[in-house]
Amino acid sequence: MNAMQTNATTTLIDDLESALASGDATQRIKTLERVTDLFVSGAPGFSPEQIGVFDDIFLRISERIEATALARLSRLLAPVRQAPPQVTRALAFNDDIVIAAPILSRSESLSDADLQSLAASMGPEHMLAISHRVTLNVSVTDILIERGNRTVVNSIAANRGARFSYAGLRTLVNRSANDDELALNIGLRPDLPVHHMVMLTERASAAVREKLVKANPAAAIVVQEVLANVVNGLRSQLRDASVKYREALAKVAELQRAGQLTEAALYGFARERKFEETAATLALMCRVPIDVVERALVDHGAEGVLILGKVAGLSWTSVKAVLLIQAANRGISAQDLETAMNSYTRLQENSARRVLGFYHARYGPSKKSESRADVAAG
């Protein structure tokens, strides 16, 4: 802060004391405007200590100022990267959405912890404002998805800067079953993992599929297959188009060639919630197309995972890790895990192979998918 700014700040502090002592609302507003203009014009050059001085001034004035002036302060501070943190936070937590919205939707002074607290405690209007931010981390979107109403959830799904956890995406897909707008917003996301896209497309209405085709003409053949209930064709095409899946398949194939595709490798993938790597590894261990494994991993019941685990000769510890991927969005109780463990203990390998043969015949992929899986298996 240069000498001129220092003198101006000293004068403003004197004016502030006078304004607060006089009880004159008009004088307080004028002082707030002068402080705001001085701060915004010089913010990039202020030190943390100098910003702290402004923070104190803003807080003192804002406690005794009308809503219109606070809303103006919020609009002016929202785009300032160096905005004073205390007053910014106070504005964000204001019950008046007109005051809070600019800060909630734009300010970089709010930390992830602030945003989590706001998302967990404020109402729909505040959550909607948060959903408009340029970027949103998983810790915040998880709360918004859990607490948000339809408008909030659709806004998050349409926000390309929002990032989602596996459980968050699964919840969005589940909520889209009766919400065409949400299904379309999710379906058009470029970062939607293939297994969530499969679930979404299976449940989507004809109107949503038509819009997806118009937005992405290359998906026309895929959607026609879904309409004909040939969902496995969709899986294969989506998997081929997924960079993440291609990388996972390549990694697993390399482990197999090196003789390192072991139960320990599978357990590591499952513990890290790596869906694609886990699915590809199980497919190779059980010598079945990956489509069969995917269906088991997205179904609600544990039976498919238990059968695959028994055929692959896995320990219960590894099977449990895979089940936790399957139940990531809804959770699984200790009682359900105990029931699954008892079922797995009783299940005989020969029985599992017979059931898997039926499962493969009933839900397995087309010949085209089988040949592609054979190539991946090397």
199: nearest Cα among 219, 175, 220, 215: 175
What is the distance, to the nearest Å, from the Cα of residue 203 to the centroid of all Cα atoms in its chain? 20
pLDDT of residue 223: 53
Q: What percent of the chain has pLDDT over 90?
A: 38
pLDDT of residue 18: 60
pTM, whole model, 2 decimals? 0.61
Of the candidate ranges 100-114, 148-162, 232-246, the one whose mean pLDDT is the lowest: 232-246
pLDDT of residue 297: 81
Cβ 160 vs Cβ 138: under 8 Å: no
Each as own residue / partner, the long-range contacts of residues 121-125 (CB below 8 Å, 24 or more positions apart, any chain) are: 122/93, 124/148, 124/149, 124/151, 124/152, 125/97, 125/101
76: nearest Cα among 84, 111, 26, 94: 84
Each as own residue / partner, the long-range contacts of residues 119-124 (CB below 8 Å, 24 or more positions apart, any chain) are: 119/143, 119/144, 119/147, 120/147, 122/93, 124/148, 124/149, 124/151, 124/152
pLDDT at 371 exceeding the cut of 60: no
* Residue 136, phi then psi, degrees to nearest 5: -140, 130
- Can you give the three-state secondary structure of 104-170, one letter per residue? HHHCCCCCHHHHHHHHHHCCHHHHHHHHCCCCECHHHHHHHHHHCCHHHHHHHHHCCCECCCHHHHH
Using one digit for the tens of pLDDT, what is the confidence trace for 38-92?
Answer: 888 777 778 888 888 888 888 888 877 888 889 999 999 999 988 999 999 999 9
The confidence band for 319, taking pLDDT boundaries of 50, 70 and 90, is: very high
pLDDT of residue 3: 46
Greatest pairwise CA separation for the chain in angstroms: 89
Of the candidate ranges 196-205, 233-242, 252-261, the one whose mean pLDDT is the lowest: 233-242
Using one digit for the tens of pLDDT, what is the confidence trace for 152-172?
Answer: 999 999 999 999 988 888 889
Q: Which residues contact 243 (CB under 8 A, 6 or more apart)?
A: none
pLDDT of residue 377: 40
Cβ 152 vs Cβ 124: under 8 Å: yes
**pLDDT averaged over every residue in the chain:** 80
Euclidean distance between CA atoms 77 and 114, whole angstroms: 17
What is the pLDDT averaged over residues 242-269? Answer: 87
pLDDT of residue 241: 47
Q: What is the DSSP letter of 348?
A: -
Euclidean distance between CA atoms 280 and 8, whole angstroms: 67
Q: For the chain, give the number of residues.
A: 378
pLDDT at 32 exceeding the cut of 70: yes
SS3 173: helix
The confidence band for 224, taking pLDDT boundaries of 50, 70 and 90, is: low
190: nearest Cα among 170, 161, 210, 166: 161
pLDDT of residue 350: 87
pLDDT at 374 exceeding the cut of 90: no
What is the pLDDT averaged over residues 251-262? Answer: 92
pLDDT of residue 95: 96
pLDDT of residue 119: 97
pLDDT of residue 37: 81
Q: Using alpha carbons only, how large is the chain's radius of gyration in Å?
A: 28
pLDDT of residue 200: 78
Give the number of C-alpha atoms closer than 13 A to the C-alpha of residue 366, restricted to the C-beta side.
Answer: 11
Of residues 2 and 196, the one with the higher pLDDT is 196
Which range, 84-88, 153-157, 191-195, 359-363, has the best average confidence (pLDDT)?
Answer: 153-157
Token pair of 45 as six digits: 């050059």
pLDDT at 183 exceeding the cut of 60: yes
